[in-house]
Amino acid sequence: MKLLYLHRASSVLLAVIALVYVSGAGGEEALKWIGGLASMTFALIATLLLWYAALQFGKQDAARWTWQLLALGTLAFAVAEGIYFVEENLLQFSEEELFPSIADAFWSVAYLFYLAGVLVMAVAYNRSGLPRPSFIRNSLPCLLLLGGLSIAMYQMVLRDILDDAELDVLSRALYWLYPVMDLLILMPVIWLALITRMLGEGAFSRPWRALVPGFFIMCMADLYYAWLDHQDAYQTGNYVDLMWDASYWLIGLSALFQIKLLKTVQGEQS
Amino acid sequence: MSHLQNRIADLLLPMLGKSMTAAAIHTNCRKIGVSPDALHRGNLGALSMELAKGLSIFLGADRAAVVARTIATLE
């Protein structure tokens, strides 16, 4: 029940922050502070919900691993957001000092946790004996989506980064790492989306109905950020921050749905 | 649809939705070597074990086992 109120409070917070961003209240400096603190807060709330969802499963359940890995990934995002906030607002780092920084180590680890989490779920589902989405019917639109995004990303950002002689090896690797990890995560996410569609109105689809758009918005935000950053057009307070906040909010909501689903089933069984 | 198939579908429908329920029953009946229309009480134990594997992805093994026991004892 407390978790439900926590998530409701975060919904109100998301609406308030969206209003602040749209109105530009407080100016650029205030937006940097609010944006940084908001991302960290949403990621921490999502971490709490995801971890609690994981604890509802038995120690041998694949779902426990999935939710735990997602919780650890989101925690790594929260730590990265926190470090970036301190570097940007308290230590007043320059653009060059902000990227790459120690925050990027946590962001990189977060993606690995997310990728591992969705892969554990995908493998467990494949072994479960439940029907799988039709490969023939779905492969073409999926390939078009992923191929289109990959080509757009390469043309708009990655090719220039390859040609940029001023970038050091670490910066170049990180510029490449984020979009590539996003596209890698999108593959199992699209697969989960197809399963969610097969589940239709069934109660089991509810957590995934929030999780899939959460991941999708996060991937789109990352790709948009890569483009913005490459144009030197990003600083905290940009609308892209709201996309990340919304993705943490949705990922937290998916955990809340999972908790409610298990409580409902447990209630019916007892 | 057989009577038992209907009973199983009624149980799974709120969880798995219409198309997944039908597909799950069909796929797992095929696994245990029986047509869904020819299901009888003697098949329910094996079928419930197969269905529990799928349900455990969403519910965990313990809760899925409870649903499986309900299926196995359907009349």
pLDDT tens digits, chain A, 270 residues: what are they?
Answer: 688 899 999 999 999 999 999 998 888 889 999 999 999 999 999 999 999 999 999 999 999 999 999 999 999 999 999 999 999 999 999 878 888 899 999 999 999 999 999 999 999 998 888 988 887 788 888 889 889 989 988 888 888 888 888 888 888 888 888 888 888 988 888 888 999 999 998 999 999 999 999 999 998 898 888 888 878 888 888 999 999 999 999 999 999 999 999 999 888 877
Q: What is the model's pLDDT at position B15? A: 94
Q: Who's near A82: CB < 8 A, 6+ residues apart?
A: A40
Rounded alpha-carbon distances, angstroms, from residue A105 to A170, A185, B46: 11, 18, 49
For A174-209, b/e burial (b = at least 16 CB within 10 A) is: bbbebbebbbbbbebbbbbbbbbbbbeebbbbbbbb
Q: How far is A49 from chain B (nearest CA, A)?
A: 17
CB A43 within 8 A of CB A245: no
Question: Which residue is listed with tokens 């409701």?
Answer: A8
Q: How far is C-alpha B5 from the geometric centre of its chain's CA atoms?
A: 8
Question: What is the pLDDT averaged over residues B52-73?
Answer: 94
C-alpha B29/C-alpha B24 separation (Å) is: 8
Q: Which of residues 32-71 of B touch A (CB under 8 A)?
A: 50-51, 53-54, 56-63, 66-67
Confidence of residue B55 (pLDDT cuts 50, 70, 90): very high
Q: How far is C-alpha A172 from the geometric centre of its chain's CA atoms?
A: 22
**Nearest residue on chain A to B69, judged by CA atoms?**
A269
Q: How far is B66 from chain A (nearest CA, A)?
A: 7
B26: chain A residues, CB-CB within 8 Å: 131
pTM of structure:
0.92
Q: What is the model's pLDDT at position B1? A: 65
Q: What is the model's pLDDT at position A159? A: 87
DSSP state of A14: H
Q: How far is C-alpha B33 from the geometric centre of its chain's CA atoms?
A: 14
CB A103 within 8 A of CB A45: no
Which residue in B13, B15, B31 is closest to A129 by CB distance?
Answer: B31
Q: What is the model's pLDDT at position A157? A: 82
CB A255 within 8 A of CB A50: yes
CB spacing of A199 vs B16 below 8 angstroms: yes
CB A69 within 8 A of CB A114: yes
Which residue in A56, A121, A200 is closest to B17 by CB distance?
Answer: A200
CB spacing of A261 vs B58 below 8 angstroms: yes
Question: Per the structure block, which two tokens stand in for A129?
Answer: 């004996």
Of A195, A132, A200, the closest CA to residue B14 belongs to: A200
What residues of chain A have any CB closer than 8 angstroms to a CB in chain B? 56-58, 60-64, 121, 124-125, 127-131, 198-205, 261-262, 265-266, 269
Q: What is the model's pLDDT at position A1? A: 66
For chain A, what percentages of helix, strand and coil (3-state, to nearest 5) are there?
Answer: 85, 0, 15
Q: How far is B40 from chain A (nearest CA, A)?
A: 21
**Nearest residue on chain A to B61, judged by CA atoms?**
A61
C-alpha A48/C-alpha A59 separation (Å) is: 18
Q: What is the model's pLDDT at position A91? A: 94
